[in-house]
Structure 1
């Protein structure tokens, strides 16, 4: 095959948008000793990025949650008050960590913007985490203050020795006081209207810490600088502008405002960078779904005239299969994007047929790359449904590294490595993990195994890291194994991913008990539910009567176990 007309058109549009002399011109800068492509006129920090675009779009409707409707200006004004409160009431200074622990609410956005304004480092906490997992994140990050919704506040106050100030949103003063926390409304009422001081921010100052599960068990905090976050957002922005230019050239009538159904968590990298930050830049409305429900999504797409939908592939599958799909007017939809997990190739054509005129798309990126990596869109995706697409222009480079660390030949499988100005600088207080994942010349070793075809399209074929991706959530197999081993009846355990049409993967476990023990699978899972977030608990757990197979080194032979139990799982499915 060769590059398609769409490939050539996109390349030409990106080249025009990023040409020398323009607002999005690309030049070079040295970042941590490596010369990389950067946007020459990029805002020097996330604060300037947010201030410019929130101001530019101030009068447009921005966030819809049920009957609540807020403009970009409303969010900006609330963010200023939160910034003042954090500074005056809690002494938050540049570099202090502020954790946001809540589901998708308008306050998530205003808290993020407000903390960034005063130079705090924002820690978006996974809202599905248990009290124990939240305690780890708060301690590891050295958080100074927490802004949480009621459910997360209830979990946080259960943490033994918890002494951090917790500011609760979406709860009453009565409930907050019973919990021993304060409400956001109370804190704002006791604060001045604006911060007294805005510290200078530089491109390489830290902006966010986002926790990601890898192969080593405990989550690691990926530290993004202001430059890396802005670079990631602007790289997405360029592709969006390229597609807009192509639509205009084709005579397509565009709506006055793009509208996105927000059904991915803002605490994930997809929610925070390509969704939130790009929406702020282009004036896109976000319609918040508090909890995913395919039927409710169809109603909201019709009601709000949503133009764009992004989520883990599970979600588009459920939309496609919903029995009442044809009852709704979905004519406003343009793109149905997916990310966070692989989409089965056979679903791509089914999506295109189920939603005529709507374009399926897939993206590949990681927390450590601020979500940027590769993308496969529209007709190209239908032609190569197993591929995650080409490296995202104009900043991203991708190589397939062989065993020697050098780029492998086309078609050969190796580790996918990504380099761009959007890469995070490393892991919070984990120099060894940082050195293992980030090379001296700027490459992030993803732990994914992949190959390129002759057109530069990337195919992910397996994972080198011992992680499971369930519906877009990264799960460390080691962490689940450690939780299983904490039960006194367990002798050996092995945890791995099992394929699942809806979620991509689910957690599977094989457990050998100590001789004479009578533990049941259900009883073991009940303990795991107390120790792990629900999405990490094995969906299938086998108790076996013989010790698990071993390699010559004495380690459990996970490869053969995974193959055998995947086959058994597939036969049952």
Structure 2
């Protein structure tokens, strides 16, 4: 799951709400709803907060509603093609290999024809894309979509067993990978007991094609293709098009069914927030975050190709490459996760002058403290830092921050045509709680997934009636209607019945001048049940003792939040490709 976590004040006096009209596309509330008195006895000023006796408080979007276009993803991306068909669409920062929009379109269509005719893939069949960020990634994805197929995106650094399990669950019929990853993919097919065709991308033209592999570049050549052979299956926009797997915070990853309408409406929700079409220039985006993750797939790749942006693909994150793409290629938008933001804060060569055209820095996917935000804005005062909240299950964006606001530390307000509410954390109560009340965030909107594939138990757990999706995240919204997400329900550390959010302590630890990174995990205790333990990475060339770190935190938190589980110094904090702390791995290593 893709998430945004921030530290914030959890408790404040309750206030009153008033009724507002429900945004178009959202389910109408009880028309008899009226403003409800609270302890303050005042009407709440937030006109986007509605109340009814039956459902409680529901937060509406501050944005105008978006229209559900009811078109497939490929038609959505190509709808304005003629406006920028000669512009560069995707370029590899390392090799320089690039495609114009016209070339990207032709290659995608050529692939679609060959997938249907040569490999006889029927409508609805699944193709797996197991690639790093390359300029051919959108060709593989959009070609498969145009052929009427479903795409499951695979992390290319997965083990053979992990890939094999995804091939089984998704019932994959065809795979796109690289020459470097071919051996692992073959092993994954053997593990899954599947004999599948594997097309590979060669990094260099003279690179040898592995025995048994199919040359991807031969499949996308426009030469010799009869485009009239392409079958239009008249695909239902409410049918599944992408099958990413959630990152599995608890249990094994789950297959998330995202429809054409999920993806396209989320693209328009993002555009309504940033209004990039109005910039009058071609936006330039570094493609650093992995396209196999929904953040990279839709927020960076698909939604930005739909507005004619230029993607500079980067197969891995390297500091010198980030500096190059910001300076030489004049990137205008940068999507990052907190470790990248911290890198930008700490790296002496990364100055505002290095990134003269950069306007927006969008951050999400993992915790970042308010003090880190302040440090970033102090170093880059002319850049607009915007946070958001999303999940694989919401395509991904559910909350977003308007550009003309000063709620920098907030995860935002509901995206266009989206509703949100905070409910009690007992997993049963569905009535929306008022402002400044902590609980579980639930969202409802056209970007919410169709459901998990073949997993009735997980679907029953994540959905409340009437389309409400339980995010599993804890937070609240303030008097202005801005949400603050503080932690995961299942990651809370329970000390003598008190709940300790790891993200709160992690943000505090990162404020320590000697600490570069930190994670907090629970360790079992016979008396308290659990105790928080800090796993800490020190800054280069500095020293600190366990007592230093313990006392620093103890002076700033309540008794039950102290690091009584201890402090462990490590060389690095394990994270997944989106920057999320891998708590399972940390617990296995350091919780005993």
TM-score w.r.t. structure 2 length? 0.71
Report if the CA contact (8 A) 2:26-2:417 is conserved.
no
1:184 to 212, 216, 221: 216
In the alignment, what sits opposite 1:169?
201
Aligned to 1:209: 243
Q: Match for residue 337 of structure 2?
A: 312
Alignment match, 2:131:
102
Q: Secondary structure at the match of 1:93?
A: coil
Superimposed CA distance per residue, residues 46-68 of structure 1 (whole angstroms, 9 cap, x where no aligned partner):
23212313444322211121322
Structure 1 residue runs without a partner (length 5+):
1-14, 20-25, 31-35, 246-253, 469-495, 511-547
Alpha-carbon shift at residue 504 of structure 1 (Å):
7.2
Work out whether residues 159 and 184 of structure 2, in 8 Å CA contact, stay in contact via their aligned partners in 1.
yes
The answer for the alignment partner of 1:60 in structure 2 is: 87
SS of equivalent to 1:434: helix
Equivalent position SS for 1:398: strand
User: Which secondary structure state, in structure 1, belongs to the residue aligned with residue 328 of structure 2?
Assistant: helix
Distance 1:61 1:40 in 2: 29
Task: Summarize deviations over 1:214-249 as a string: whole Å, max 9, x none.
Answer: 3441100110111111111111111122x776xxxx
SS at match of 2:234: coil
Question: 1:177 Cα shift?
Answer: 5.2
Alignment partners' CA distance in 1, 2:357 and 2:311: 15
Residue 190 of structure 2 is aligned to residue 141 of structure 1: no
In structure 2, C-alpha distance between the alignment counterparts of 1:216 and 1:176, rounded to whole Å: 41
CA distance in 1, matches of 2:294, 2:315: 18
Q: Does 1:398 align with 2:432?
A: no
Partner of residue 569, structure 1? 567
Give the counterpart of 2:113 among 84, 99, 103. Answer: 84
Count of aligned positions: 466
Seen in structure 2, the aligned counterparts of structure 1 residues 566 and 427 have a Cα distance that, compared at 3 Å, is: farther
CA contact (8 A) 1:417 1:444 kept: yes
Note the C-alpha offset of 1:162. Answer: 4.3
Q: Hey, what does 1:267 align to over in structure 2?
A: 292
- 1:496-511 pair list within 5 angstroms: 499=506, 501=510
CA distance in 1, matches of 2:155, 2:516: 18
Cα displacement (A) at 1:208: 0.7
| Aligned partner of residue 400 in structure 2, secondary structure | strand
Instruction: Decide whether the 8 Å contact of 1:273 with 1:370 is kept in 2.
Output: yes
Matched, 1:437 2:462: yes
The 1:218/1:326 distance shift into structure 2, 3 A limit, reads closer
Deviation at 1:80, TM superposition (A): 0.6
Aligned partners of 1:389 and 1:356: how far apart in 2?
20
Map of 1:386 onto structure 2? 409
Aligned pair 1:44/2:71, yes or no? yes
Question: What's the counterpart of residue 112 of structure 1?
Answer: 141
Contact 2:421/2:443 (8 A) holds in 1: yes
Change (3 A) 1:167 1:347: same
Contact 1:313–1:343 (CA<8 Å) still a contact in 2? yes
TM-score (norm 1): 0.74
| 8 A Cα contact 1:50 1:280, kept in partner | yes
Match of 1:369 in 2: 394
**Do the aligned residues in 1 keep the contact of 2:522 with 2:531 (CA within 8 Å)?**
no
Q: RMSD over aligned Cα, in angstroms? A: 3.4
Change (3 A) 1:201 1:268: same
Q: Note if contact 1:63-1:285 (Cα within 8 Å) is conserved in structure 2.
A: yes
Aligned to 1:332: 357
Distance in 1 between residues matched to 2:233 and 2:246, nearest whole Å: 29
Q: Does the 8 Å CA contact 1:399/1:417 hold for their aligned counterparts?
A: yes
Contact 2:81 2:101 in 1 (8 A): yes
- Seen in structure 2, the aligned counterparts of structure 1 residues 292 and 349 have a Cα distance that, compared at 3 Å, is same
SS of equivalent residue, structure 1 residue 48: helix
Deviation at 1:328, TM superposition (A): 5.0
Q: Which structure is higher in helix share?
A: 1
Structure 2 distance, partners of 1:446, 1:41, is 23
Q: Residue 129 of structure 1: CA displacement?
A: 1.5
- Say if 1:118 and 1:197, in contact at 8 Å, map to a contact too: yes
Greater length-normalized contact order (CA 8 Å, ≥ 6 residues apart): 2
Q: Aligned to 2:441, what secondary structure does the other structure show? A: strand
Pair 274,560 (structure 1): closer, same or farther in 2 beyond 3 Å? closer
Answer yes or no: is 1:284 the counterpart of 2:313: no
Alignment gaps of 5+ in structure 2: 1-20, 29-59, 494-501, 535-560, 572-592
Q: Distance in 1 between matches of 2:531 and 2:181?
A: 38
- Given that residues 237 and 261 in structure 2 are in contact (C-alpha distance below 8 angstroms), is that contact kept between their aligned partners in structure 1? yes
